[in-house]
A and B are shown apart, each in its own frame.
Chain A
């Protein structure tokens, strides 16, 4: 079985490749990449006008299964991923119950094999029940396939436990992902602290809560020599601390979300609960600092923090609505519209953060196009204009702050192991 993806612009950041050319796939793997491949006997997929990229990787997704299937499940979540252009996603363990055991990790992996259309990597909890009190059975979870450890959704307030988690995970060469926010400073806050929160009278979450938490975690990573990843960085100082730490050789990486890279707290005016997210949408100076961090390599990955909630949960007063919204299906469009088409980032830069960047953090194979690798490939039309209509989303939790926005750029086809699973936004499986 041969397939030739013909005539696209191949952007392969892991190998610094940016060429016009073809990719030949045989038996689910990449056989050849070149400027002109003779695809005799192969089925042809015409990629003229498209970017041909490694399958996109999203290292921060909430699939909500087990226990919270009304918000999302592996079936719907992986289809949302495919629709958005992703071939590999990593799911966070803050489910009900929490994914904090090898059985739970195997369960996710098994379910994903049965129900999923894209590759799913499981992230295990750092502490039992994500309670921040005792270490979870990290070794067992890693043996079962966990690719990282995180109490995402919560900051590990005990520095001692967090240090233990870093040391312990590091024995297995796994990264600890921190949701960095000093909780005593954000207690019951609903938006970024700034002029807009002052205006709306809403209890708020100051950026300094993130700064302090990132600083502590970075210092513990430096002290232990272990690998640390900061999830959804949103504050300017946090970017700076990470930048300085990297310069000192600390093994710290970081991700930013499409919404933190493009929206500000002004979106909260009007109290649309689709704008409620944690960490909150911050002011323009923070957004600029994030883009700067993306450009200079401080931020390694763009991750959606896809966090769907059932419609009725978001349909209430702002302060009672849960934080988070769907991100998988808008990610490419939002990033290309706001960062590429405005000239703030190049396509290779962006694609690096959405492929090899996160893939390296998680370890394992993904994010690179090369002979012998699985043919996980995403085709993107950078100029396709479309309007966000959440009623067409595959995700169950359809709220998005980008609703109704006109975007430019869209994933138009996705291959997983050489199989076409998404075309023109439609998931084929």
Chain B
């Protein structure tokens, strides 16, 4: 699943550690989501969207074949 996490985080000026703290997960989790090597759980995806005040479909996009 593709995502705009790195872009949105940069717009906010947040570090990966700050975002991890906001979400209640590890920094490595944030890094892996940004690199699109880990798909977050649905609750975490909603928390991410809420953290940036965006609808979830603005943050996450299904792969072309999905």
A, B bound: no
Q: Which residues of A contact B (CB under 8 A)?
A: none
Q: Which residues of B contact A (CB under 8 A)?
A: none
